[in-house]
Amino acid sequence: MNDRVTKEDILKELFNISVGQSASLLSEVIEKRILLNVPEVRVINYKENPSECNSYIPKVIEGALMISSISFKEELAGKASLVFPAEKMRTFINLCMHENTDFIPYDLNFTEVDFDIVKEIGNLVLNSIIGELGNFINVKFNYTIPEIKVINEMNIDKVVEDEDYTYILMLYITFNIEDTEIDGAITINLKLKSLDELLNKIGIIEEGFNE
């Protein structure tokens, strides 16, 4: 068994701290107990082989998807997106609204109000994650309000959009809200310089653990 602590392990711990804080605030807002967990993190080189990146997309991300994205700039520039299966987001939105819609047929026609709920949740979770990342490497950002879109299938090109981004941090994330589990992913697109700064700092911690 390999006991070495990897960069991904360190990032996972870092992200679990920030999603834990988001979960506590989210629970307060929607008055239901929410647990958030990041079970796995991967660093993917998008420039080297974009098509291969699709193989890292979690199997749970199938069918129509809802994506909530924020952009950040200043010393470190990038874009972070929260990606969930649209079908699961319908359940999540109904739970947030305290709505019982048993009699309404399954439906993926999201309204502006549905989008606003996802926008608020994406805003909270993504700000926490990027904020924690910024604190870790001691960088402040300028953030945008999230944009929401629904796409038919997960394709890494639709998440990256801007070819200037070299690396993608892929976080697998699980929302647990009143025993309903929703699996999704968070992608963070970064330029080479930004990721270098992050990985250098993590490399120092990694060496400390493995000495």
Which positions touch other proteins (CB under 8 A)? Answer: 25, 28-30, 70, 96-97, 103-105, 107, 111-113, 116-117, 119-120, 123-124, 127, 131, 134, 140-146
- Provide, rounded to whole angstroms, the least separation between the CB of residue 188 and other proteins: 16
Enclosing H/E stretch for 21:
helix 7-30
- Provide, rounded to whole angstroms, the least separation between the CB of residue 204 and other proteins: 24
CA angle 128, 130, 136 (to 5 degrees): 100
Quickly count helices (H) and strands (E) in the chain: 6, 7
Are 124 and 26 within 8 A, CB to CB?
A: yes
Nearer to other proteins, 51 or 111 (CB): 111
**Closest alpha carbon to 189 in 209, 207, 163:** 163
Nearer to other proteins, 105 or 208 (CB): 105
**Closest alpha carbon to 74 in 3, 137, 26:** 137
Nearer to other proteins, 2 or 106 (CB): 106
Nearer to other proteins, 22 or 166 (CB): 22
Q: List beta partners, residue 183.
A: 174
Q: Which amino acid is at 182?
A: I
Nearer to other proteins, 44 or 146 (CB): 146
- Provide, rounded to whole angstroms, the least separation between the CB of residue 191 and other proteins: 19
Nearer to other proteins, 107 or 178 (CB): 107
- Provide, rounded to whole angstroms, the least separation between the CB of residue 134 and other proteins: 7
Q: What is the Cα–Cα distance from 170 to 72, expressed in whole angstroms?
A: 17
- Provide, rounded to whole angstroms, the least separation between the CB of residue 102 and other proteins: 11
**Closest alpha carbon to 142 in 86, 76, 190:** 76
- Provide, rounded to whole angstroms, the least separation between the CB of residue 89 and other proteins: 14
